[in-house]
Structure 1
Amino acid sequence: MKTFILLLLLTFNPFPKQAQEDCPCCSSEHHEFDFWIGEWEVFNEKGDKIGENLVEALEDHCIISENWKGATGTSGKSFSYYDSKDQTWNQLWISNSGNILKLKGTASKGKMVLKSDLQESEKGKFYNQVTWTKNPDGSVTQNWILLDENGKKIGKAFKGIYKKKN
């Protein structure tokens, strides 16, 4: 009888799998982009303030949400997440001008490098590549460049230095 009850308990587990997972987004990989979390003032290379950005972890750290407000009235939001199935970071960016950017990539040594699929415009084909770098002083540099089909840099879309708000 004891064997039957044990078999019954093992077969019909009253605790769903999801309840057994204490924190599905708590792996070290899920925290690789934590250096970007914070309330930021963003400056260009000349030191002019170009906007503010609130970056926060949501949904028990399963999503990193970005809320950009540019000094010229531009705005945008992104959701970044780690996909453990293919071991990549992914970001969906949407701006108030209707631009949509989908990026995928990986983190390594204090950097996050995300790249788009090949894009096509009237000027030709290109990739968007955005790199966030954690700097020794706690700031973060975001460098968005354009690459040709062979991976050669053909332009710069954005470069910002993120400094924590006081």
Structure 2
Amino acid sequence: MRIVVHLLVFIVFNTLATAQNSTCKCCTEKHSEFDFWIGTWEVTNADGTKAGQNTIKKLQNGCVLQENWISSTPAYSGTSNNFYNNKTKQWEQIWIDNQGQSLHLKGNKVGNQMILQTDEETNSEGKTVYHRVTWTDNSNGTVRQLWETVTDGEDVTVVFDGLYKRKN
């Protein structure tokens, strides 16, 4: 009798969990690939100086990963919305800061890195340019964010190299 009761309890809970997941459009493994970035972070530059603080949380039933950046540079902040696009089968980020600048990045997770980049553009010198941002999920719980500008496919300039450490 106990086995039957346990089996029934298992079936009921399993059915409820399956029903909840089928109504949650963003409760998939792909939608969780960027979850390593969720948290409240102190961010330092590559030289160890304070870059700012960042809070990343999930919204809209887990469909959006929202970033809220506050720089150590006075009066600079920005917000991004990150999401897995089921149509294109890739991650996208829309960044907008309080200076009116924006960035639209697209890409995928490779190993322990989320690698997103802009479309190629032609700069004022007629050279092809794109931005690439890589978030690395480090084994010690930190996250490295490396933002690079790539010109003519070979000249790489580091725009930002930050280390994220969780705030307690």
Report the equivalent of 1:115: 117
Q: Any runs of at least 4 consecutive aligned residues in structure 1 with deviations exceeding 2 A, and if so which? A: 119-125
- Equivalent residue of 1:156, what SS? strand
Q: Give the Cα separation in 2 of the matches to 1:162 and 1:75.
A: 16
Report the equivalent of 2:148: 145
Give the structure with the higher percent helix.
2
- Equivalent residue of 1:72, what SS? coil
Matches within 5 A, 1:1-166: 21-73=22-74, 74-123=76-125, 124-149=127-152, 151-166=153-168
Contiguous gaps of at least 5 residues in structure 2: 1-19
TM-score by length of 2: 0.83
Task: Tell me by how many angstroms 1:156 deviates.
Answer: 1.1
TM-score by length of 1: 0.84
Instruction: Decide whether the 8 Å contact of 2:79 with 2:96 is kept in 1.
Output: yes
Contiguous gaps of at least 5 residues in structure 1: 1-18
Identity of counterpart residues, as a percentage?
41
User: Size of the alignment, in residue pairs?
Assistant: 147
